[in-house]
Every structure is written in structure tokens, then in C-alpha cells.
């Protein structure tokens, strides 16, 4: 059974992801949890503290879950062997797996939607949004490509540019599915085509191994 603190985080994330941070009151959160507003302050000193805890807990949740499928965005070196000499279909399957996880895991999808709203509320949250959903992904993939280039597996191109070329369509397709869930099947087809075209264009081995 969830403890009160976890229920506060869960219900707050649900509310923030649909209404936005500013539109949700502490009283509304307490009502959704099933407690009185003063009781909420026994667990968090402020609404901002709840928001900060959501950011922290979601990062831990993502790290734990993606670690099970050998994706560690926080540790490029750990993942380099996973992508070394990976066949085309295996790569497409792995990308689809992380895409579907990001799309359908409730906490992850609600957090992304919350941050999509909150990026316009303050420069600090805009920076956090960019760091989580753009900068970190570009840096991670550039590191993977740098390793594959050094190993002679893919063409010797600028790894940062390769990362932008690879990641941007994935982010776009995820955003499309967030806005229009009915386009998931179409988006998965485009994702698969994108990954395989990228593989065939830049992989020196051409999927022969």
C-alpha cells in the first residue's frame, strides 16, 4: 500500500500534468489524496517542495527502469558495448522498446507532459526541460557514436551532428504521440524506418554482422 507521501507525489503529478503547476492549489492536492490541507504540510513544506520531489523521484524511476533494458543515459561508457556490432533489427527493436516505455509508463509520460507545460513558466524550468529532453539525449548519443567511430563501426562524421540527426526525429515522434495518441502505430512505423535508414547510411558494416 502506498504511503501518504507517495500518494501526494502521485496525485500532484497527475494534477500538474493536466492543469499546470500554477493552476493547482495545495488544497486541491490534499483533496485528491484524501487528506486535509494542513496534514499535507506534515510531509512537504510547500507546493514547490512537492514539485522538486517529483523531479527527483521521476529521475530515479527512469534510471531504474531503463537500466533493466541496458540503457543508462547517465553512463555512456556502460552502454557502448550494447551498441557495438548491434544488428540493424536488434537496434530498431531496442529503440522501439525505450520509445514505448517513455510513451506508456504513467509516471514518465505525465512528467514529460508536466514539463512541456512548465517550460514556459520560468527560465529555470525551461532549462531543466532542455537538459532532460534535448541536451542529455544529444550528449549520450554523441558519446555512443564517438565510441563506434573509434571502433571503425560507423562512418567518421562529427558525433554531435550525428546525434542531432538521430535524436531529433525520435523526440518529434514522441511529441506527436503525446498530442495525438491515435497516431502511435504510424509513429512506430516511422521510428522503425528512421532507425534502419540511419543504420544503413552510417554503419560501415552494413548490418552484415
Question: How many helices, marked H, and strands, marked E, lie in the chain?
Answer: 11, 0
State whether 209 and 117 are in the same domain: yes
Range of the domain at 143: 69-209
Percent of the chain residues topping a pLDDT of 90: 78
State whether 78 and 45 are in the same domain: no
pLDDT at 143 > cutoff 60? yes
Grid cell listed for 44: 512537504
What is the Cα–Cα distance from 99 to 101, expressed in whole angstroms? Answer: 5
pTM of the predicted model as reported, rounded to 2 decimal places: 0.87
**Which CA distances in Å does 39 have to 8, 23, 28?**
11, 21, 13
- Say what the pLDDT of residue 170 is: 95
Q: For residue 106, what is the DSSP state?
A: H
Of the candidates 78, 199, 90, 53, the residue with the CA atom closest to the CA atom of residue 140: 78
Looking at every residue in the chain, the average pLDDT score rounds to 91
The better pLDDT of the pair 106, 65 is held by 106
Residue 63 placed within a domain: no
pLDDT tens for residues 160-188? Answer: 999 999 999 999 999 999 999 999 999 99
Q: How many CA atoms lie within 13 A of 11 on its CB side?
A: 21
- Say what the pLDDT of residue 207 is: 44
CA dihedral 23, 108, 9, 6 (to 10 degrees): 160
pLDDT band with cut points at 50, 70 and 90 for residue 206? low
Average pLDDT over residues 126-145: 92
Beta strands in 58-190 (DSSP E): none
Q: Residue 20: what are its φ and ψ, rounded to 5°?
A: 95, 150
State whether 86 and 180 are in the same domain: yes
* CATH number, residue 179: 1.10.357.10
What is the count of structural domains for the chain? 2
Residue 41 placed within a domain: yes
State whether 53 and 105 are in the same domain: no
State whether 5 and 73 are in the same domain: no
pLDDT tens for residues 75-132? Answer: 888 888 989 999 999 999 999 999 999 999 999 999 999 999 888 888 888 998 899 8
Please calculate the CA angle 153-155-159 and round it to the nearest 5 degrees.
100
Q: Residue 157: what are its φ and ψ, rounded to 5°?
A: -115, 170
Amino acid at each position: 500500500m502506498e504511503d501518504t507521501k507517495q500518494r501526494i507525489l502521485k496525485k500532484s503529478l497527475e494534477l500538474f500534468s493536466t492543469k499546470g503547476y500554477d493552476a493547482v492549489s495545495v488544497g486541491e492536492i490534499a483533496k485528491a489524496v484524501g487528506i486535509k490541507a494542513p496534514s499535507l504540510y506534515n510531509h512537504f513544506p510547500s507546493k514547490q517542495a512537492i514539485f522538486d520531489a517529483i523531479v527527483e523521484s521521476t529521475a530515479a524511476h527512469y534510471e531504474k527502469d531503463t537500466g533493466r533494458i541496458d540503457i543508462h543515459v547517465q553512463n555512456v561508457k556502460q552502454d557502448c558495448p550494447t551498441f557495438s556490432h548491434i544488428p540493424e533489427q536488434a537496434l530498431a527493436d531496442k529503440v522501439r522498446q525505450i520509445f514505448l516505455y517513455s510513451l506508456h509508463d504513467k509516471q514518465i509520460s505525465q512528467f514529460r507532459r508536466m514539463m512541456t507545460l512548465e517550460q514556459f513558466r520560468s527560465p529555470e524550468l525551461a532549462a531543466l526541460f532542455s537538459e532532460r529532453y534535448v541536451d542529455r539525449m544529444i550528449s549520450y548519443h554523441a558519446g555512443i557514436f564517438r565510441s563506434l567511430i573509434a571502433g571503425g563501426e560507423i562512418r567518421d562524421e562529427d558525433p554531435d551532428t550525428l546525434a542531432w540527426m538521430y535524436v531529433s526525429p525520435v523526440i518529434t515522434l514522441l511529441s506527436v504521440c503525446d498530442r495525438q495518441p491515435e497516431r502511435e502505430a504510424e509513429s512506430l512505423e516511422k521510428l522503425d524506418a528512421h532507425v534502419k535508414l540511419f543504420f544503413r547510411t552510417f554503419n560501415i558494416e552494413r548490418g552484415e554482422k
